[in-house]
Amino acid sequence: MIEIKVPSPGESITEVEIANWLVESGDYIEKDQEICEIDSDKATLTINAEESGEINILVSPGEMVPVGSIICTIDDSKKSNISNKTSNPVSKIEKEVPLSINKGTVINEPSPAAKKMMRESQIVNINGTGKDGRITKQDVINSKAAMGVGPGQRKSQRKKLSSLRRKLASRLVSVKNETAMLTTFNEVDMTEVNKIRKNYKEKFQKKYGVKLGYMSFFTKAVVKALQEFPDVNSMIDGDEIVHYDYQDISIAVSTPKGLMAPVVRNAEDLDFFGVENEIARLATKARDGKISIDDMLGGTFTITNGGVFGSMLSTPIINPPQSAILGMHNIVERPMVVNGKIVSRPIMYIALSYDHRIIDGKESVGFLVSVKNSLENPKENLFAGNIESSLLKKAKNPLSYRSNYKHKL
């Protein structure tokens, strides 16, 4: 008998929530098969079977359990019984629609259509009005109407918040209550960035196998602005301010489990390929539920892109313990005055939310203007005057830049 215990998701985590069992008690499972999902404060992790055998589940979904506790056992002496996988269709129907006959009630044979509707609606007791007491389709419809089952029925569902969602909610509320958060806005003419992407995106993808998206432009522009305004790349720790001489950029990613922000380490050392490759790798891990705690620790600044959902303008909430977050939005053709003439330009509104306790208005506005200038003149500010050489040169391996430095969150 093999005991499966809750692994430790991270140093500071002492308990987890059983989010979902992927198998049922009594099932025969194979070695390394995924059997359970657990939610911690920071991520959802999957537990795999250590051996093949019959599983006995000891903890129900939704329960909080300490790290190291036993959640199930596997009887490795049991062998897979293939014959059990075949079932009698008749007995299967009987299981799906158990007929509990009340005393004095006569249940006659339903027609095929009526039988299907009874099974789908889980109706068992009906008096037939058809020939020889046969249950008709109309009998089922009338029974559903009498029970209040129909197109007009109003339903509600109550579901417990996952551990990750509860932790996220708690952190967001604490930001509003514990920081002096303000938001400043600006607009960016995306004409030059769009031109570069149009001219080089096919060559870029052919050379590196990843797309040339907007995130690499914004990440490089943010890195440059953080170096110009170091207060934005800092955070409060008690009565002290901690400044960082590197830029670890958290990228907000929407996943089925909620919002996550994996970190692109040492973004100042990455070229455009390095940034795009890291973002693609981390976003895939997050959406597949394979993100680790280490992937999300230690960011110094966050970028979130509500534009992918159609957002025109927002006030993003700071990702604690960081001191600022940049919000991207959708790109819309808007009228602009250029050299005395009204022209149509692709415009994005950008927002910087920041903690006013350590970042003054001058720094916040200057930071956003720096990002704007880099994106409106990327050739000089992001590519040092040579776009093709910067984009298509031999790329460095982004793995070599990942830092082992851990922050206290």
Active site residues: 356, 360
Sheet holding 44-48, edge to edge: 44-48, 34-39, 15-21, 64-66
Q: Which amino acid is at 120?
A: E
- Tokens 């999957």 belong to 46
Cis amide bond preceding 321, omega within 30: yes
Q: How far is it, in rounded angstroms, from Cα 340 to Cα 378?
A: 24
Q: What's the CA angle centered on 298, arms 270 and 273, to 5 degrees?
A: 15
- Tokens 């992937």 belong to 295
Beta partners for residue 344, in sequence order: 335
The sign one gets for the Cα dihedral 159, 67, 75, 34 is positive
Nearest by Cα to 299 from 399, 402, 374: 402
CB 354 within 8 A of CB 230: no
Both tokens assigned to 37: 């999902």
Both tokens assigned to 204: 């870029």
Q: Which amino acid is at 378?
A: P
E strand or H helix at 223: helix 214-228
- DSSP assigned state of 135: B
Nearest by Cα to 287 from 318, 308, 268: 308
